[in-house]
Structures are given as C-alpha cells and as structure tokens.
Amino acid sequence: MANELMNRFAMDPFFDTLARRFFSPADADNDYMATGDLKTDITENDKNYVMKVDVPGVDKNNIHLAYQHGDLALSIDQENDSEKKDEQGRVVASERRHGVMSRTYELPGVDRDHISAQMNDGVLTVTLPKAADSQQDNGQIEIQ
C-alpha cells in the first residue's frame, strides 16, 4: 500500500537517481533511458545547424525525427530484454525494459527537404541546412 501511495506523487529526479545509483550503481550508470537524458550538442555556422545526440545502445530504427514549423522533434522508443542463466542453463532471472524519450529543439529557417541524419558509434548526427535567405534581412520590400 505504501508503494501505491508513493507512486501517486512525482518523485524528485535527483533523489530518485541517487537511490538508484546507491542500490545498483552499475545499472544506473549504463541505463540512460531511466534518467531521461538526451545529451545534445548543437553548433551553427553560416550554412547549417549540426546536432549531435548521444544515444548509446539504441538501434537507429528506434529513433524517429520530424521537422515541422521550425521545430525538430526527436523521439526514441527502445526495448531491452535480458536473461540470466545458472550453470545448468536454467533461467534465473528475466528482465524486460521499455523506455520512451522525446525532445524538441527549436531550429528555425531550415531547408526541410535537405535534412540528413546518420548514426556512428552511438552518436546521432543531424545536419539541418539553413534555408536560403532573402536579399534583405530587415523584412523591408524595395519599391521599384
């Protein structure tokens, strides 16, 4: 009953993570899906934005990207199964995890048709080319 009562209230992420690390430090360090973090670096130059997101252990088929109205939406839907067996090959423990993470990044003025993405060594790299700028930056229209 106490567990049901506690589950009704949102736990503080700091203390929830602290408890997880105390009781099973090896699992907590490797389970980024449990913490809900998507470590992201975004750089910008004259031609494009380049976004790098750490997604170790995630299959690229479980990552979904969409660009709409100046926002890039990233979502991950990952399932993990693990089985532990004893010396005789009997299953001692079987675990299944399912994690969903999502994040939206505001990146205006992108040429949607030329966005590219690739995975390499657990890092998702998304290149978002900027749309061609108009001649006048201040929005004024020249009358001829």
Scored b (16 or more CB within 10 A) or e, 109-142 reads ebeeeebeeeeeeeebebebbbeeeeeeeeeeee
Residue 107 tokens read as 């990146």
45 in a structural domain: yes
Q: Is residue 29 part of a domain?
A: no
Dig out the tokens for 112 from the structure. Answer: 């949607």
Instruction: Considering only residues 120 and 142, tell me which one the structure prediction assigns the higher pLDDT.
Output: 120
Q: What is the CATH number of the domain that holds 78?
A: 2.60.40.790
The pLDDT value recorded for residue 83 is 79
What's the total number of domains in the chain? 1
Per the domain annotation, does 122 fall within a domain? yes
| Consecutive H or E run containing 6 | helix 2-7
Q: What is the pLDDT of residues 91-134, one digit of tens each?
A: 778 777 777 888 999 999 999 889 999 999 999 999 999 987 64
Considering the domain boundaries, does residue 82 fall inside one? yes
Asked, for residue 17, whether it belongs to a domain, the answer is: no
CA torsion through residues 36, 76, 123, 44, sign = negative
